[in-house]
């Protein structure tokens, strides 16, 4: 099953049989989410798995939770509501600890809302099944594990190309990543990511824009965006976020074996 393949890859990158994984189910309002992921990662061979039952900002002051993150070799943020996740974690010691641990090489992964919040600029909401129009997407601060991309999820399944194009037009420096369900983008410390799973990752590079009407468009007005570059990448493809170049699957290419972050999305 591809979904387990993605989770298995995360466990391997977190230390395999020696992995100590901490799950943060805050985005979900289901009481069983943390326990469900504990079971998944234990079944895949992780040595230690626990979850942080953070449901309000005051929970982020718990010193035990910070200690758990200090010893973690992998951190996983579940799906749910990304605004619930950002408003509870944002600006807290937990958020700061996640950034510091990731900077030290600890693998951080997320699914759905947990994937969206990894970037500095997070898609907080917007219209699916829409052309790129002014007001099609709303942004909020994310965790800031990367400032190079902006991430959207359930991408093909919910037809979110229009809102990712609109998000990319706000700041053409950012690379838009549209991640399908049952698909992951594993980002290495060298700025190269690899696609794993049964779907695709759509990359929107707006750095070559020759014209954008975003600044003058009225609310709901269709946007003119000229000079965009779009890559649609299946399993095994790689993308260099620094050089902004996509590579096809290559059995002989060596991909970085120790990524320090990963973005995934799946059906909730």
CATH, domain range 2-265: 3.40.50.880
Going by pLDDT thresholds of 50, 70 and 90, the confidence category of residue 3 is low
| 245 among known catalytic residues | no
Going by pLDDT thresholds of 50, 70 and 90, the confidence category of residue 250 is confident
| 134 among known catalytic residues | no
Q: Which of 112, 119, 130, 212 is catalytic?
A: 112
pLDDT tens-digit readout, 187-224: 999 999 999 999 999 999 999 999 999 999 999 999 99
pLDDT tens-digit readout, 105-128: 999 999 999 999 999 999 999 989
| 14 among known catalytic residues | no
Percent of the chain scored above 70 by pLDDT?
Answer: 92
pLDDT tens-digit readout, 174-195: 999 999 999 999 999 999 999 9
Q: Which of 3, 48, 134, 181 is catalytic?
A: 181
Q: Which of 130, 154, 194, 212 is catalytic?
A: 154
| Predicted confidence (pLDDT) at residue 48 exceeds the cutoff of 70 | yes
Detail the DSSP E strand segments found in the chain: 20-24, 48-51, 74-77, 107-111, 121-126, 137-141, 149-153, 175-179, 183-187, 192-197, 201-205, 211-212, 225-226, 229-233, 238-240, 245-247, 261-265
Name the pTM for this structure: 0.91
The structural domains of the chain, with segments of one domain joined by +, span 2-265
| Predicted confidence (pLDDT) at residue 256 exceeds the cutoff of 60 | no
pLDDT, position 268 = 38
| Predicted confidence (pLDDT) at residue 264 exceeds the cutoff of 70 | no
Q: 87: Cβ–Cβ under 8 A, 6 or more apart, which residues?
A: none
Average pLDDT in the chain: 92
Per-residue pLDDT averaged across 7-28, rounded? Answer: 97
Going by pLDDT thresholds of 50, 70 and 90, the confidence category of residue 259 is very low
Please tell me whether residue 9 adopts helix, strand or coil conformation: helix
| Predicted confidence (pLDDT) at residue 266 exceeds the cutoff of 80 | no
């Amino acid at each position: 099953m591809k979904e387990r393949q993605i989770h298995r890859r995360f466990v391997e990158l977190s230390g395999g049989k020696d992995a100590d994984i901490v799950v943060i189910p805050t985005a979900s309002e289901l009481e069983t989410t943390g326990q469900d992921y504990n079971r998944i990662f234990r079944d895949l061979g992780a040595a230690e798995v626990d979850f942080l039952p953070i449901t309000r900002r005051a929970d982020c002051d718990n010193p035990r939770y910070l200690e758990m993150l200090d010893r973690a070799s992998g951190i996983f943020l579940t799906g749910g509501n990304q605004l619930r996740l950002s408003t509870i974690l944002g600006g807290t010691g937990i958020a700061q600890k996640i950034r510091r641990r990731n900077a030290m090489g600890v693998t951080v992964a997320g699914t759905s809302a947990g994937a969206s919040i990894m970037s500095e600029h997070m898609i907080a909401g917007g219209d699916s099944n829409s052309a790129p129009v002014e007001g099609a997407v709303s942004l909020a601060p994310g965790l800031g594990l990367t400032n190079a991309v902006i991430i959207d999820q359930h991408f093909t399944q919910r037809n979110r190309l229009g809102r990712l194009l609109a998000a990319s037009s706000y700041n053409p420096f950012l690379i838009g990543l549209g991640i399908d369900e049952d698909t992951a983008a594993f980002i290495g410390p060298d700025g190269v990511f690899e696609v794993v799973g049964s779907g695709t990752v759509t990359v929107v590079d707006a750095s070559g824009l020759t014209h954008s009407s975003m600044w003058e468009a009225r609310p709901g007005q269709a946007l003119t965006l000229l000079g965009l570059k779009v890559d649609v990448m299946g399993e095994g493809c790689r993308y260099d976020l620094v050089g902004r170049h996509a590579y096809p699957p290559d059995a002989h290419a060596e991909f970085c074996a120790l990524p320090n972050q990963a973005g995934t999305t799946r059906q909730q």
